[in-house]
A = this chain, B = another copy of it.
Amino acid sequence: MGKKEAKLADIGEFGFIESIREGCLFSPSRLLMGIGDDCAVIGPYEDKVFLITTDLLIQDIHFILTKTTPFHLGRKAMAVNLSDIAAMGGIPLHAFISVAFPRTADLAMVHGLYSGIKLACQTHKVNILGGDTSASPERLFINVAIVGEAPVDEVLYRKGAMPGDGIYVTGTLGDAAGGLKMIRCEATGPPMKASFLVDAHNNPFPFLEAGRLIARSRLAGAMIDISDGLISDLGHVCRASGAGALLDHPSIPLSEELKDLGKINGFDPYELALYGGEDYRLLITVPEEHCIQFEGLFSGGTPCPIHRIGEMTTEMGIRMAMEDGRVRDINLGGFDHFH
């Protein structure tokens, strides 16, 4: 669920997850999805299912305490989980917050963190129903679990994409990764543009309204949130659906800010758009016959812009149609291999 950084040297992340997935079900009744999507899906109960997701944020792995504020951190810890609920088309209901505070934590840090968490809860009408709190020997740890719900026949999974479906995203890509470059002092630029990117990294927006709109319309095939980067998360949709994808390079949506800062600092904004993480846009696949109606849902940019970036294919793997007409295989390992 969401971002997983553990690179256990010998088996790697996917090997690790696969090794965990074996033998996890001992009571499979009323269970629609276990490990393998943005949320687990249990039910139905009455005409609804419950969606459950959990994400861990660790100091110096997921954030640097001197480069953000406890308030932003609390809000982001909620947002990354709410984004998983959005990606299934759900409505978030309840949050459970576990925090381990360094012994040196002062009350301002504690209250800042919970202010951010509670603002996100208030904005999205989510209850805080429990959690756990502990001292931590050194670093701040935050684990959030969220329970949501959705009508049983409106849940969208990764596995629902079909060859020929249009592929859409709910906004520009790569901004959060650009912001991370600023935060890490690997890039600089005009303050207004730099702060736009830093804000994209520190204050991601969970697309709950768009997710519900899409789920309710029943026009889409599959949905996922882009937490690990476009190629990585589209790859999840492809594998789950048994299909491939052909992206259209000129259609990849980039912000002017990212393009400008790429020019100033000499980095390729497309590399960040394809492989940078933490944008938390939704990626949606839509059968061709529904695409016009689907695009109409977002007329006038409400509730968010929508960009068509390619289509699903019968051929497995991800490819990219370039401006010059060439079609290149996309290497999952990194953009360098792609050039």
Q: Any chain B CB within 8 A of the CB of A190?
A: no
Minimal beta-carbon separation of A297 from chain B (angstroms) = 25
Cβ B93 vs Cβ A136 within 8 A: no
Cβ B54 vs Cβ A2 within 8 A: no
Q: Any chain B CB within 8 A of the CB of A125?
A: yes
Q: How many residues of A contact B (CB 8 A)?
A: 76
Considering only CB atoms, which chain B residue lies closest to A54 in the complex?
Answer: B96
Mask, A26-65, CB within 8 Å of B = 1, is: 1110010111000110100110101011111011111000
Cβ A56 vs Cβ B130 within 8 A: no
Which residues in window 98-152 of A have CB below 8 A to B? 98-101, 105, 107, 110-111, 114, 118, 121-122, 125-139, 141, 143, 145, 147
CA of A141 to CA of B138 in the docked complex: distance in angstroms?
Answer: 12
CA of A315 to CA of B229 in the docked complex: distance in angstroms?
Answer: 61
CA of A320 to CA of B50 in the docked complex: distance in angstroms?
Answer: 46
Cβ A105 vs Cβ B42 within 8 A: no
Considering only CB atoms, which chain B residue lies closest to A22 in the complex?
Answer: B118
CA of A135 to CA of B8 in the docked complex: distance in angstroms?
Answer: 8
> Knowing A8-B107, A40-B96, A45-B46 touch, does A132 contact B26 (C-beta < 8 A)?
no
Q: Any chain B CB within 8 A of the CB of A186?
A: no
Minimal beta-carbon separation of A11 from chain B (angstroms) = 7
Which residue of the partner chain, among B7, B59, B132, contacts A56 with CB atoms under 8 Å?
B132
Which residue of the partner chain, among B53, B94, B99, contacts A42 with CB atoms under 8 Å?
B94
Cβ B96 vs Cβ A34 within 8 A: no
Which residue of the partner chain, among B7, B129, B139, contacts A34 with CB atoms under 8 Å?
B129
Q: For residue A138, which residues in chain B have a CB less than 8 angstroms away from its CB?
A: 137-139
Sampled A-B contacts (12; CB under 8 Å):
A6-B100, A17-B133, A24-B118, A24-B127, A24-B129, A26-B126, A27-B125, A27-B126, A45-B45, A45-B48, A55-B98, A147-B147
Given A26-B127, A56-B98, 12 more A-B residue pairs with CB atoms under 8 Å apart are A4-B132, A8-B101, A8-B105, A11-B107, A20-B133, A23-B118, A45-B46, A45-B48, A52-B96, A52-B129, A54-B132, A56-B141
Q: Which residues of A contact B (CB under 8 A)?
A: 1-8, 10-11, 13, 16-17, 19-20, 23-28, 31, 33-35, 39-40, 42, 45-46, 48, 50, 52-56, 58-62, 93-94, 96, 98-101, 105, 107, 110-111, 114, 118, 121-122, 125-139, 141, 143, 145, 147
